[in-house]
Structure 1
Amino acid sequence: MKFITKQDATTGEEIQLSYTDFSAGRPVVLIHGWPLSKEMWEYQVDDLVSAGLRVIAYDRRGFGHSAKPWQGYDYDSLTEDLRDILEQLDLRDAVLVGFSMGGGEAVRYLSRYGSERVSKLVLVSAVPPFLAKTSENSEGVDQGVFEEIMVSLKEDRIGFLDDFGKKFFGVSLMNHPVSAPLLDYYRMLASVASPRATQQCALAFAQTDFRADVQAIRVPTLIIHGDADQTVPINASSDRTAAMIPGSQYLVYEDAPHGLFYTHKEKLNQDLISFITSA
């Protein structure tokens, strides 16, 4: 595990971001989802490295082993962290792979900083273009859903994470796509995040409007989403994003939940490698 050190553009506070960097070749930057950490990519790293790719994964501020400041959980600040990762590691011809909340950083990066360092984009179960239902965003998710999340996080964060994990992976009375020990492990990863970061990032991914960012994308883009996703509903997210990015590839995984990086890992890895290594 390694760290980059940066100065927060707003507060001036020194921030350390934890990352891993494996192998050589075309760089692939893995951006994790909420409320996990870079360890969520465990089942992708080996296959990507074996395909001849350099794989970089980092912990978003407030999560995993990265610094946990009080402020800076808006998407502009989070995207500045992504920019600093790319610049300090001097990554070029990179592929950004954003899962769930991480899709927001990926599209905001391309909108704000352009494609000098980034040549391809992958969005997996991602939150863009705009999750919250408003008077002019009727396809979004009802605000009451996010209000309930905030109440639960403040009342019993670990209990919320336990319930959330089951929904995240599509666990039900008749369906057990992940083992109980693995569910416990993912709950542990999520519990390491600071309570403040967990709450503030939930507000960020729920309320941030990425429509202008998505419309500005000009690099080859692969969009992957499960049609059984109960966490980020496909009709409010990737269905719309795919229609907004001309020429994008859109793969819908049948019966896949939000956490398809584990439940459909073999298919996901094949699709990632095929897209990343194609001309």
Structure 2
Amino acid sequence: MTPDPAQLSTDACTLSDGRTLSYATGGDPDGVPVVVHHGTPGSRLFGALLSEPAAEVGVRILVPDRPGYGRSSPPPAEWTWNDWPADLGALLDAESVDRAGALGFSGGGPFALAAASDDRVARVGLVSSVVPPAENALATLASVPFALRAVFRISDVVASISGPSAVVSQYTDRSVSDPVAEAVAADFHEALDRGTRAVERENRAFASGSLNADSVGVPVRAWHGTSDENTPLSPVRSLVQEMDGTLEALDADHLGTLLDRRRAALEWVLGSD
């Protein structure tokens, strides 16, 4: 599968408070809609990694820039994933979507689960998902916001100089194709185009927030790597058990899990299992 940002189209909708929510579309234009939630940091360009398999299985992906990333406006103060369903509802209205699946990668996981509070969301898939309250290096840094912002500013500069491999190495130890590396890097740089406030806000929420398993009343399935050093497996296993969902643990790392299971995840969210 060869990621190609040209397979994506970018659009935007205006939210009730005047903010702009930008999003990409890709895959099968006549397919079943699936809202894809990018990582932290991330952007609508994450869709380049999924557009080809989506087209193959009959899925039309909708990939929003979450508030403050890419071309989307920053949100109000203290905005969290619990506020996401209202923004998502405006996107679904703009695209005349009556029923959709939701897929979340890494930091997009909590937002994909929150999306289930919209009764138009039928299933939720989680790939390499963060589970708040998160316990990792970024969660620790979130207690010192300026330090976290500095880390990502420096990472953005270093990656711009060193090339896509500097971004990819943050997420996987495996060798990936040049198109995959370029797509991952493009997503990373686009995410930080408006600065680092969004990634700081989300990591702070991941460190201090929690998920209410009882609030998710739709089928949930997770794919997670046993070698994932970015987001640990154990909290995902516990969360999925609470939700009476299913978990596939595989011998892969953070990005590797996505690359190995992206088609399978889209097929399950589509409802073709």
TM-score range for the pair, normalised by the shorter chain length: 0.7 to 0.9
Unaligned ranges ≥5, structure 2: 1-9, 160-165
Q: CA deviation at 1:267?
A: 3.2
Is 1:265 aligned to residue 259 of structure 2? yes
Q: CA deviation at 1:34?
A: 0.7
Residue 153 (structure 1) aligns with? 148
Residue 83 (structure 1) aligns with? 89
Residues 153, 160 of structure 1: 8 Å contact kept: no
Letter of the 1:232 partner, please give it.
Answer: T
**From 227, 237, 240, the counterpart of 1:239:** 237
Residues 22, 65 of structure 2: 8 Å contact kept: yes
**From 131, 134, 141, the counterpart of 2:133:** 131
Residues 125, 224 of structure 1: 8 Å contact kept: yes
Is 1:19 aligned to residue 19 of structure 2? no
Q: CA deviation at 1:65?
A: 1.5
Change beyond 3 A, Cα 1:251–1:274: same
Residues 4, 88 of structure 1: 8 Å contact kept: yes
Q: Deviations over 1:240-278 (max 9, x none)?
A: 1121111x2211121x222236xx525321343255242
**From 117, 122, 136, the counterpart of 2:125:** 122
Change beyond 3 A, Cα 1:24–1:221: same
Tell me how many residue pairs correspond in the alignment.
Answer: 253
Change beyond 3 A, Cα 1:238–1:147: same
Residue 3 (structure 1) aligns with? 12
Letter of the 1:40 partner, please give it.
Answer: F
Measure, in 2, the Cα distance between the counterparts of 1:131 and 1:187: 23
Residues 168, 185 of structure 2: 8 Å contact kept: no
Q: CA deviation at 1:151?
A: 4.8
Change beyond 3 A, Cα 1:147–1:198: closer
Q: Structure 2 matches for 1:1-279, cutoff 5 A? A: 1-8=10-17, 14-22=18-26, 23-69=29-75, 71=77, 73-110=79-116, 113-114=117-118, 116-128=119-131, 130-132=132-134, 140-141=135-136, 145-147=140-142, 150-161=145-156, 165=167, 168-171=170-173, 175-177=174-176, 182=182, 184-210=185-211, 212=212, 214-235=213-234, 237-246=235-244, 248-254=245-251, 256-260=252-256, 264-278=258-272
Q: Deviations over 1:190-228 (max 9, x none)?
A: 331432222112212222110x2x223222221111111
Residues 101, 269 of structure 2: 8 Å contact kept: no
Q: CA deviation at 1:69?
A: 4.8
Letter of the 1:4 partner, please give it.
Answer: C
- Provide the identity percentage: 22
Q: Deviations over 1:67-112 (max 9, x none)?
A: 23563532233332122222332322210111122211222232xx
Residues 84, 115 of structure 2: 8 Å contact kept: no
Residues 70, 196 of structure 1: 8 Å contact kept: no
Q: CA deviation at 1:177?
A: 4.3
Letter of the 2:217 partner, please give it.
Answer: R
Letter of the 2:249 partner, please give it.
Answer: V
Measure, in 1, the Cα distance between the counterparts of 2:175 and 2:147: 24
Measure, in 1, the Cα distance between the counterparts of 2:222 and 2:51: 19
Unaligned ranges ≥5, structure 1: 9-13, 133-139
CA RMSD of superposed structures (Å): 2.9
Change beyond 3 A, Cα 1:189–1:143: closer
Measure, in 2, the Cα distance between the counterparts of 1:62 and 1:83: 18
Residues 102, 269 of structure 2: 8 Å contact kept: no
- TM-score with structure 1 setting the length: 0.78
